Amino acid sequence: MRSRSDKISQINTPYAQQMTVNQQLVRRAHIKRCKRILLIFSVVFLLLGFQIIQSKRSLAKIEASIRTSKTQLARQRDIGKDLKQEKKQLHNPDYLQQIIRSKYNYTKKGETVYNLDN
């Protein structure tokens, strides 16, 4: 059995040649246009990808600074609680007397203080 392409032949008239040339020009124009569009899309894609990467990096930096700020805040809150506790204890006369005696070597009348080195 013969294939169909064996039965078909091209007409070599000037009009057919002109149409073939026109089709080739149109095809080349389409290919050139497609290449330009792909180039533009790839440039836009690269720019947007770069911006996404930059935003992720800045987000990571901000999250790291937030974590350090939270740890500092927790430390300051602990210090604040300790200071409030100490303030509360300073209203207690026995504790106040103990602090004055230990820090400032305060004595009552007739007492003698001995400092021993460890």
- pLDDT tens by residue, 47-66: 999 999 999 999 999 999 99
Residue 109 CA to chain centroid, in angstroms? 67
Residue 46 CA to chain centroid, in angstroms? 19
Return the minimum-mean-pLDDT range out of 55-59, 95-99, 109-113.
109-113
pTM for the full predicted model: 0.53
Cα 87 from Cα 54, distance rounded (Å)? 49
Cα 87 from Cα 85, distance rounded (Å)? 5
The two structure tokens encoding residue 43: 């440039």
